[in-house]
Structure 1
């Protein structure tokens, strides 16, 4: 286990300076169309808390002391080796199932931390899973390629090879957001190893007239349940009203990435009560990385389809289904 979570002093000092000179748009305090989720006044307090009281070093020490961090280099066909940051927690239970946990943007390995703590707490004598949570290339503390073409299949290959390198020849996968498509490709392209997948966020296009004529006819007649109509409306909202932020702006400004994450984490989660520290943890993990590289997956994954999934979780605030 390595203390690999460490941000340089100069980066933390730079953030403090930028926060000191932050220019918040006070004109947004009264407008009706401000959709920041927590509102201007609360966001201003959050920025001030980050500037004056937030302690990254305390959280950094917690991450390093509480979880098993590793770094390893993984070859990917047609690309240079990718250096991945992973959390790897083994189970003491014979026959425990290896689980690889894959997220998407703006997620991070922090999503897996509470799962790991739950599975390894003293009162839990089951420890039914080995948990492997990897920071995806370009996310958090993993490296990324500067070559184009590194899409969903390459992410899947990278993670499948990681599991092989860790000694797991059979495992299951959980995928959310882009992770749902990544683990689907893991199942399709590495079916000898992937025994089952669980996904949330179903990326799908309208049914094909020739491949699925009955579904296509139902689609044309608009025959949907109330829940399906709600899902379609939310997908339309996401596609037409959610702002597309620029990687350069997020890379340069701690307040920009915080504002972006506050909106996403509040709008996309099921009434979870985010603390100021949690919001800043998530933003800072991505601020120290490359937002542009992390969002490259959107460009590379333009032809994603999840056709006919057998079962998947559909939560109230899903964006695309």
Structure 2
């Protein structure tokens, strides 16, 4: 009886999920599904408003040095706003269960006012070479860091790698990785790092018209890589960065040597997807066929608990996908409000248990300086609204976003799954989407912001993937050479 009830409940939840999945796009504008070639068409997001049928202006291809230099006036204004912060009353014994604990928010405020030194971190941000260049009317900010190639460091292979951040992170998530990245490994593999700010994030210019979505970001970053002389490269990202990296690999496979992403984007949408889930639920040991089948099962089930958890943790997404400017109006005016809104995600998404701590576990994995520097990047750039609009832009054509995330990936790929990410997916649910999945790594540590939290693990994962990628490319070359020899032999026989 109990098993029957569980099965019936699961089937009803699946049916509800299917209904919600197909109804949700109706909340937004309906668009026809676009083909990939359409997504490659140039657009214009610059300040100049184009007239009907006006040609898109040509971008300046100049690459100019850039340095962050926040004015003293802006820093003084920040101090005054922090001093005037207003706080809500905290409910007893609720920790972070209702959101950011306002008692601990006072601790953040006092540290920000009395201990945090922006100039120190601004200097660190400026310690690596940064640039801006115009793409589709916007000044795109990026780091460009070449590997150390001294006589003592024998470099055999240099991989250009595009690193893409997400929300509520920034380019700053990857700065801890740079010292590790720039040292060649034991196999002589080194990396040339290109680390941009997504337009509307960090110190990239915000789009001035609607329509800047995942395909637009993918197109602009491919243009950036080509402008820097890289026709083929590895692409890596987490959160939105993973989505953009996936889109680049899908729309521009000819430009991607390999895809390395943090986390996955499994969204059941076909009968086969739901059949996989049903089989996994009813016959997990048979379906997964591994010794750790129970751990794989627990990534998705009990479905009701996972569904409830996702509803709780994605309320922000619905707001930002519908009316982002409303909440942004408050955040752009209140630094302590912005800190609460952004830092709460660094608590909840690093480990779900941190919600039960009075400090949200924030300084368990990050320092207060690191967390506030990321907030400062949003505050000093004024890009909080633009960063939130990115959700709406991608939900405006949800069918397109969904199809991009569920397209077959043909380029060599690697996925690293953090142990405590907000959503984890069994490999068996994903592998049919990747034609050449060379590596699937289940990390035993880390949450959603893995590169920020555990930079060594991410860099080592990319290095392992790079070695596999070289072996894969060599194998492909040998196969092609063998085919050519066989064709030549047949031709000679004729």
Q: Deviations over 1:69-107 (max 9, x none)?
A: 1111113xxxxx221111111123353101100111111
Q: Could you tell me which residue of structure 2 aligns to residue 54 of structure 1?
A: 116
**Cα pair 1:99 1:173 within 8 Å, conserved:** yes
Tell me, yes or no, if structure 1 residue 120 matches structure 2 residue 212: no
1:234/1:43 Cα in 2 relative to 1: closer, same or farther (>3 Å)?
farther
**Cα pair 1:171 1:194 within 8 Å, conserved:** yes
Q: Give the Å deviation of 1:68.
A: 1.1
User: Matches of residues 145-224 of structure 1 in structure 2 within 5 Å?
Assistant: 145-209=207-271, 212=272, 215-220=273-278, 222-223=281-282
Q: Deviations over 1:181-212 (max 9, x none)?
A: 11111111111111111112322322312xx3
Bigger Cα displacement from structure 2, 152-161 vs 108-117: 108-117
Counterparts of 2:390 and 2:135, CA distance in 1: 18
**Cα pair 2:378 2:384 within 8 Å, conserved:** yes
1:94/1:254 Cα in 2 relative to 1: closer, same or farther (>3 Å)?
same
Counterparts of 1:194 and 1:294, CA distance in 2: 26
SS, match of residue 228 in structure 1: coil
Tell me, yes or no, if structure 1 residue 88 matches structure 2 residue 144: yes
1:162/1:54 Cα in 2 relative to 1: closer, same or farther (>3 Å)?
same
Q: Give the Å deviation of 1:315.
A: 1.3
- Mind listing any 5+ residue stretches in structure 2 that lack a counterpart? 1-63, 150-154, 285-296, 320-326, 352-360, 425-494
Tell me, yes or no, if structure 1 residue 263 matches structure 2 residue 344: yes
Tell me, yes or no, if structure 1 residue 286 matches structure 2 residue 349: no
Tell me, yes or no, if structure 1 residue 14 matches structure 2 residue 105: no
Q: Could you tell me which residue of structure 2 aligns to residue 312 of structure 1?
A: 415
Q: Give the Å deviation of 1:161.
A: 0.5
1:60/1:126 Cα in 2 relative to 1: closer, same or farther (>3 Å)?
farther
SS, match of residue 198 in structure 1: strand
Q: Deviations over 1:139-193 (max 9, x none)?
A: 0100021211111000000100000001111101111101111111111111111
Counterparts of 2:259 and 2:302, CA distance in 1: 26
Counterparts of 1:33 and 1:266, CA distance in 2: 11
Bigger Cα displacement from structure 2, 262-271 vs 4-13: 262-271
Q: Could you tell me which residue of structure 2 aligns to residue 228 of structure 1?
A: 300
Q: Could you tell me which residue of structure 2 aligns to residue 239 of structure 1?
A: 311
1:20/1:125 Cα in 2 relative to 1: closer, same or farther (>3 Å)?
farther
1:38/1:147 Cα in 2 relative to 1: closer, same or farther (>3 Å)?
closer
**Cα pair 1:100 1:171 within 8 Å, conserved:** yes
Counterparts of 1:125 and 1:219, CA distance in 2: 40
Tell me, yes or no, if structure 1 residue 68 matches structure 2 residue 129: yes
**Cα pair 1:106 1:261 within 8 Å, conserved:** yes
Counterparts of 2:210 and 2:80, CA distance in 1: 34
Counterparts of 2:304 and 2:420, CA distance in 1: 12
- Mind listing any 5+ residue stretches in structure 1 that lack a counterpart? 76-80
